[in-house]
Amino acid sequence: MRDFTTSVDLCYWRTHDHPSWNRAEKAFAQTFRDDPVAALQRFRSLYTSRKTPRIALGSELMSCAIVLGDFFTALDEKMDMDRRHFPIDNPEDIGVPQWRACASSGFPVLLMDMASDDRLFDEEEPWADCILHMLYGVTYVWREQLLPNHFVGPGKPPLPDDTASRFLDRVQPFLANLWKNRQQATRECGELNLRCKTIQNLLRELYKLCINKFQRVDTMKDTKLAHIDILFFAVGSPLHIASPQIVGSGIWGMELFMNLYAQESLRKSGGAGMLERFVTDGIDPERILNAFAVLMGDHGRREMADRQLKHTLHCLTFFITDTSGAYLDAMCSVPLIHSVAMSLQRQERYGIVDYGQDNLEMWSISAMILRTLFDLLVERVDGPKMHGEDVLYILTRGINLCASYVKFPGLKLDTRKLLKDMLGALSENVTLWRQAVQDSITEESSTINEVVLEQLRESARLNWYPSLSDLRDTQKELESISSPATTSIIRNWEQLGRHLGCDEITERKRVEGQRRRMCAWSSCKYHRMPAPASLRSCGGCGERKYCSTECQRSDWKEGGHKSRCRRIKSA
């Protein structure tokens, strides 16, 4: 149990007023600091006794909501945008007396009633957003920090037994209200679209509270939870990513969607039926796929890496492998392969190398996406948009990952299995593209148009031979994982290069000259291109060269150079 007696003063609002607060808001904030029970009672009384058809901006009730929305928000973006202090993360951030007053007065239940009110989005701004911010913050702290018996501090009795039940009983009405008023909720999100992120985060916390903390699976049955989550993801992600004030947007909503997709009892008629219902219920397929493309593509932020990226790629496969055909046209109009390639480049640059399984799984998912869209390219005249450079990057990234991880000492059994599956997928994709390029050169009708073919040629001049060299350097190790797949990859990669106009002897001389200016750490971006600055040699052997101290340390700890360097040095 958490010890609230040693709380640290982390919440900005416990000692400061925001410059935008008016006199009434500052007065209410001080009341909440001095006597939180009285402040929350006043807020409840104002709400239950209101007589006006709309809650007006400048009214006492609206002022209270604005202040409490700032106190209770857990939304990083809101705090960053307003240049405020850190969002709440635990009861100490709010203040122990404030949290106890909140929990013991039934404030969470009141917030759920407010959010379930059919008039929520009819009120003047920022009423709806304040209520949603408060509800998300309270739910997050409740779910993340407090035990199921919801004690609120040492020596204090637990909350009444029915508090959680009364709160969870209101989840279905809230979701129904959100779906019913979805057009108005999305139309009035504002330029930065923080409401979309707030709702996605709130849905995630409600799901975890119901399923993980209180085992109330029935609470989520027969709701539009998945619909609401994907709707606000589709509406909000492009605007989130475009805004320089917003970071990490759309990421966690994918975690919720993956959980929902995995819950058979929450899918009713199965995954394909659920995805098809998105379309019949008015959620535009192109808007959904475009949200994925923007989130993963050129404008995607550094935070879209590692497991967040894996979740997103995994969710994308649900849509592009949907058997209903509802997403086929959208798959042809949205440049998904470019976004997949950009996301893998971001992972190569910012991802955690230690997450070996995640890196391998991400590429395998990307390979499945490439394979699916290749089939669509063959079947349809108006096939999906592809750039040759993106295709070749996905293939070379797969080769680089296999060559890198197969050299890691002490490969675990599950990693070996991933590598075997990955080699199979790589063999299939390389073979398909080798055949497609060959047909384009030798036959009148071809799958690949001349523009894409020229893009492949340009990219191959830089990337084909380094990948071939990686394959040959690790051929023995790769064959120990899967000999047939390794043989197929090398043979088809050699042929692909020849079809694209690459001469192996010429390319070897060029690459070997460049490698004297390349970093030896295989996961560095300058491992495959000359570094802009001079390299530093390993002090032990003098043979390996690195662009930075970080790369040298990584190669020493993770790349196996520690044992190799000692052998060279002793020799």
* pLDDT number for residue 250: 45
Q: What is the pLDDT of residue 568?
A: 56
Cβ count within 10 A of residue 353: 18
- Rank 175-179, 383-387, 437-441, 503-507 by mean pLDDT and report only the highest: 175-179
Of the two residues 272 and 137, the one the predictor is more confident about is 137
**CA–CA separation, 318 vs 310, rounded Å?**
13
CA distances from 264 to 22, 221, 267 (A): 50, 10, 5
CB 170 within 8 A of CB 109: yes
Question: Residues 27-43: what's their mean pLDDT?
Answer: 95
Cα–Cα distance measured from residue 520 to residue 534, given in angstroms and rounded to the nearest whole number: 13
The H or E element containing residue 192 is none
Residue 131 has pLDDT above 90, yes or no: yes
Which of 101-105, 138-142, 437-441 tops mean pLDDT? 437-441
pLDDT at 338 (0 to 100)? 94
Q: What would the two tokens of residue 49 be?
A: 């006794």
Alpha-carbon distance of 286 to 234, in angstroms, equals: 9
Ranked by mean pLDDT, which of 72-76, 191-195, 430-434, 436-440 comes out on top?
430-434
Segment (H or E) for 536: strand 536-537
End-to-end CA distance of the chain: 58
User: Which tens digit of pLDDT belongs to each residue from 196-214?
Assistant: 888 988 998 898 888 877 7
pLDDT of amino acid 79: 55
pLDDT at position 270: 42
In angstroms, rounded to a whole number, what is the distance separating the alpha carbons of residues 174 and 168? 10
Predicted pLDDT at 399: 96
Find the angle CA(109)-CA(112)-CA(115) to the nearest 5 degrees: 155
Residue 537 host element (H or E): strand 536-537
| Helix, strand, or coil (residue 82) | coil
Question: Is the separation of the CB atoms in 76 and 17 below 8 Å?
Answer: no
CA distance linking residue 496 with residue 511, whole number of Å: 18
Q: pLDDT digits over 485-510, tens only?
A: 999 999 999 999 999 999 888 888 88
pLDDT value at residue 434: 96
Backbone phi and psi for residue 221, each to the nearest 5 degrees, phi listed first? -70, 150
Residue 457: the pLDDT is: 95
pLDDT > 90: what percent of the chain?
A: 37
Helix, strand, or coil (residue 161): coil
Amino acid at 315: C
- 256-259 CB contacts, 8 Å cutoff, 24+ apart: 256/200, 256/203, 256/204, 256/207, 256/229, 257/226, 257/229, 257/230, 257/233, 257/315, 258/311, 258/314, 258/315, 259/207, 259/211
What residues have CB less than 8 Å from 41, skipping those under 6 apart?
A: 105
Q: What is the structure's pLDDT at 37?
A: 94
Q: Which residues contact 334 (CB under 8 A, 6 or more apart)?
A: 286, 289, 290, 292, 293, 385
Query: Tell me: the pLDDT tens digits for 314-371?
Result: 889 989 988 888 899 999 999 999 999 999 998 988 888 778 889 999 999 999 999 9
What is the model's pLDDT at position 262?
Answer: 65
Give residue 570's pLDDT.
53
pLDDT-above-70 percentage for the chain: 83
As a whole number, mean pLDDT of residues 524-551 equals 87
pLDDT band at 435 (very low <50, low <70, confident <90, very high): very high
Could you read off the pLDDT of 242-294 as tens digits, one per residue?
443 343 444 555 778 877 776 655 454 444 577 888 888 888 899 899 888 88
**Structural contact between residues 18 and 68, judged by C-beta atoms closer than 8 angstroms:** no
What values do phi and psi take at 545, rounded to 5?
-125, 145
**Least confidently predicted of 81-95, 298-312, 484-498:** 81-95
pTM across the whole model: 0.78
Residue 96 has pLDDT above 50, yes or no: yes
Which pLDDT score is estimated for 77?
A: 58
Q: How far is CA 452 from CA 65, 333, 398, in A?
A: 56, 16, 20
What is the predicted pLDDT for the residue at 82? Answer: 52
- Give the separation between CA 53 and CA 450, rounded to whole angstroms: 64
Q: 287: which residues sit within 8 A by CB, 6+ positions away?
A: 234, 235
Asked if residues 312 and 355 have their Cβ atoms less than 8 Å apart, the reply is: no
Burial 191-229 (b: 16+ CB within 10 A, else e): ebbbbbbbbbbbbbbbbbbbbebbebeebbeebbbbbbb
d(CA 224, CA 274): 10
> To the nearest whole number, what is the mean pLDDT of the chain?
82
At residue 4 the predicted structure's pLDDT band, cuts being 50, 70 and 90, is very low
Question: Is it true that the peptide bond before 36 is cis, omega within 30 degrees of 0?
Answer: no
Asked whether the predicted pLDDT for residue 401 surpasses 90, the reply is yes
pLDDT value at residue 561: 83
Name the residue with higher pLDDT: 250 or 458: 458
